[in-house]
């Protein structure tokens, strides 16, 4: 039995179109996934910097400052962190800011820690859940 070249050619008709469609789908999925991972890392970086700014504010505004912040009133620290975290291009209403004074006061040279927790909300709905971002910074009160 002899195979005709025209039968082989006709049996592969449309395969290039299917391969191209599958390649485009895989490429688009990878591009969106990479974009989402880049934004996740960017958001973590901004929130880590926001925690550092909160610690900086807390260590400068100790008990000897004219506008002190301390264990009783941490709203100023939270405001500083929230204003900096807006740069993450996300809705920060779901973000939790937790200032912790380890020695229960704002005297120099005691320690303070600011923790920022945020459940990452992806820009593009993905079939899997992304982690909760938690950034922490710590310092010693100098003023």
Domain of 107? 14-140
CB atoms within 10 A of CB 43: 21
The answer as to whether 49 is a domain residue is yes
Judge whether 63 lies within some domain.
yes
Distance CA 17, CA 107 (A): 71
Residue 82 is predicted with a pLDDT of 94
Rg (C-alpha) for the chain, rounded Å, is 26
Total number of domains in the chain? 1
Give a yes or no: residue 67 inside a domain. Answer: yes
- 45 inside domain: yes
Asked if the structure places residue 2 within a domain, the reply is no
Round to whole Å and give the CA distance between 19 and 135. 44
- 7 occurs within a structural domain: no
In tens digits, what is the pLDDT along the chain, a chain of 143 residues?
565 655 656 667 788 889 999 999 999 999 988 998 899 999 999 999 999 999 999 999 988 888 888 888 899 999 999 999 988 888 888 899 999 999 888 898 999 999 999 998 888 877 777 789 999 999 999 87
90 — phi, psi (to 5°)?
-120, 165
Beta strand residue intervals within the chain, DSSP E: 96-101, 111-119, 132-140
Provide the 10 A C-beta neighbour count for residue 129. 9
Report if residue 30 sits inside a domain.
yes
Look-up: residue for tokens 């291009």? 89
Cis-peptide, bond into residue 20, ω within 30° of zero: no
Q: Which residue has the tokens 């929230």?
A: 82
Distance from C-alpha of 40 to C-alpha of 120, rounded to nearest angstrom:
7
* 8 belongs to a structural domain: no
């Amino acid at each position: 039995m002899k195979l005709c070249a025209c039968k082989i050619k006709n049996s592969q008709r449309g395969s290039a179109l299917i391969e191209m469609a599958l390649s485009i789908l895989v490429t688009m999925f990878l591009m969106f996934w990479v974009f989402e991972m880049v934004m996740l890392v960017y958001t973590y970086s901004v929130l880590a910097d926001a925690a550092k700014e909160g610690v900086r504010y807390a260590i400068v505004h100790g008990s000897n400052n004219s506008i002190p912040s301390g264990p009783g009133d941490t709203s100023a620290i939270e405001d500083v962190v929230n204003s900096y975290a807006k740069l993450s291009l996300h809705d920060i209403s779901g973000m939790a800011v937790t200032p912790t004074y380890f020695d229960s006061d704002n005297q120099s040279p005691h320690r303070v820690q600011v923790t920022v927790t945020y459940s990452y909300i992806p820009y593009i709905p993905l079939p899997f859940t992304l982690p909760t971002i938690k950034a922490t910074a710590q310092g010693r009160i100098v003023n």
